A and B are shown apart, each in its own frame.
Chain A
Amino acid sequence: MLLLEDVHTHYGKIEALHGVSVEVNQGEIVSLIGANGAGKTTLLMTVCGTPQASAGRVLLEDRDITRLPTSEIMRSGIAIVPEGRRVFPGLTVEENLYMGGFFNNRTQNEQGIRHVYDLFPRLKEREHQRAGTMSGGEQQMLAIGRALMSKPRLMILDEPSLGLAPLVIKQIFEIIAQLRDEGITVFLVEQNAHQALQLADRGYVLETGRIRLQDTGANLLANPDVQAAYLGG
């Protein structure tokens, strides 16, 4: 589904990723964990093409997307729930969802919105409210809903649990599991390593721009190094 081969990414002269290879297979949930500044977000953004990889290749469904402009990549069956949610604060919930389905026709959008409201009945209640006035959890639901609108085959989530109450986090992770059951491949970046690995089929550990470990989610959870570094011993 998604394949990164020896990807290097630079910010100006500073290299943030030093040759990273990651594979996400069809139907999997793959979690990428790592400390602050390890390059997790950089890795995800490289997939999206901002910034572009300076070396290596990014393949989406066997198509080389390394040099494509972001807008074109994001129309190829990928959707992202970015770090910090980034809902459009001045747009209503409904308008935010329409932005997610910008390239859909009217019936696709109506179906999409119904589906999102089924997943998150809370959003239905807030339909005409400006997104910027909602709580963090609600904004996160909206960000996921917006990403779903384009009917992605691969969904990338960047720290969906950041700054949310435990109960809301639980709900968000349940939804992620549900997405996989609907056939969407999920690539998840988390600092909340415990929950991310529990949910994941496979996981990667990223340290200062390099992949340190890769294994099944369960094995990584049991790994003493991972436990010491990311699971609080």
Chain B
Amino acid sequence: MQDLLYFCQQLINGLTIGSTYALIAIGYTMVYGIIGMINFAHGEIYMIGAYTALIAITGLATLGIAWLPLVLLVALICAVIVSSSMGWAVERVAYRPVRGRHRLIPLISAIGMSIFLQNYVHLSQGSRNIGFPALIDGGFQLGGDESFQLSISWIQITIFVTTFICMSALSVFISRSRIGRACRAVSQDLGMANLLGIDTNRIISATFVIGAALAAVAGLLLGMYYGSVDPLFGFIAGLKAFTAAVLGGIGSIPGAMLGGLILGIAEAMTSGYLSGEYKDVISFSLLILILLFKPTGLLGKPEVEKI
């Protein structure tokens, strides 16, 4: 009985972290799906989202505003606006001028952008980690006995609910809306979309903006969950989300969602049954295994040569 409870606890922890990986992974997968490049600055966009949310929360606290829903809403909106503008700007400045060149060139440009943004935050916000107020604390027990209690915290529930809402909204947007349809069309044949009169540059920008907005949401959620942020906050999370995207099949949105959850659960199980020290080993081993045995990922489609 206790073993089962312990397992469930790890599952809850894993799903929490996994759903935020999934949110970040969508940014990688959408950009890859549409222009075939890895946006290595995406982790930094997420980190900037977390910082912006923190600044907004601190600002509201200074003004004496403490009504929780308002604080969260303002923090969320600020984070989304700043991160989306960053995502848009990064594409304009660093990727569009080198698009269509050899694959390595945008990649290097992306790594450069990532280093630049990290150091920009180092300079402007300091390199120490800063405490993130636990706005949503507490939780409740789901059951158990004296020796082990299965518990779930409100912040975990907030993460599930928010992620679920974002994913559903994205799925509906991609499958039903006019712009979402155009995103899919552009990812399948960019040149043809252009021949239908569609300004593909705007669709590409939209992709970066959507990915960045979701990363900003993840930034706020994980800032609250971990309780602190630092300029390297985005680095590991970015790598993990990238792993999640590859695991699920890069280019596939359901794949990113699935990959994030699997990775989160794998990490939580490793922490729970082995040691927290090994969780990164496990995630990156998973990445290597999937690249060795199923390079297209769990839900990815093999690349078909166009005739």
Chain B residues, CB < 8 A from A75: 197
Q: How far is the CB of A168 from chain B (nearest CB, A)?
A: 18
Q: Taking A91-B181, A102-B178 as contacts, is the C-beta distance between A74 and B192 under 8 angstroms?
A: no
CA distance A122 to B192 in the complex (A): 23
List B residues 166-213 near A (Cβ within 8 Å).
178, 181-182, 184-185, 188-189, 191-200
CA distance A208 to B170 in the complex (A): 50
Chain A residues, CB < 8 A from B197: 71-72, 74-75, 102-103, 150
Q: How large is the interface on A (under 10, 10 to 19, 20 to 34, 35 or more residues)?
A: 20 to 34
Q: How far is the CB of A205 from chain B (nearest CB, A)?
A: 26
Chain B residues, CB < 8 A from A69: 199
Q: A56 at interface (Cβ–Cβ under 8 A)?
A: no
Please tell me which one of the listed residues A70, A89, A100, A146 contacts residue B194 in the complex, with CB atoms under 8 A apart.
A70
Q: A84 at interface (Cβ–Cβ under 8 A)?
A: yes
Please tell me which one of the listed residues A50, A90, A95, A99 contacts residue B193 in the complex, with CB atoms under 8 A apart.
A99
List A residues 144-158 near B (Cβ within 8 Å).
146, 150
Chain A residues, CB < 8 A from B199: 69, 71
A99 touches B195 (CB 8 A): no
Chain A residues, CB < 8 A from B184: 88, 90-91, 95
B200 touches A88 (CB 8 A): no
Chain A residues, CB < 8 A from B178: 98, 102
Chain B interface (Cβ < 8 Å from any Cβ of A): 178, 181-182, 184-185, 188-189, 191-200, 306-307
Chain A interface (Cβ < 8 Å from any Cβ of B): 48, 50, 69-72, 74-75, 79-80, 82, 84, 86, 88-91, 95, 98-100, 102-103, 146, 150
Interface CB pairs A-B, < 8 A, 22: A48-B195, A50-B194, A70-B194, A70-B195, A71-B194, A71-B197, A71-B198, A74-B195, A74-B197, A84-B307, A86-B189, A88-B185, A88-B188, A88-B192, A90-B188, A91-B188, A95-B181, A99-B181, A99-B182, A99-B193, A99-B196, A99-B198
Given contacts A74-B196, A84-B307, 11 further A-B contacts (CB under 8 A): A50-B195, A71-B200, A74-B197, A86-B189, A91-B188, A95-B181, A95-B184, A99-B182, A99-B198, A102-B182, A102-B196
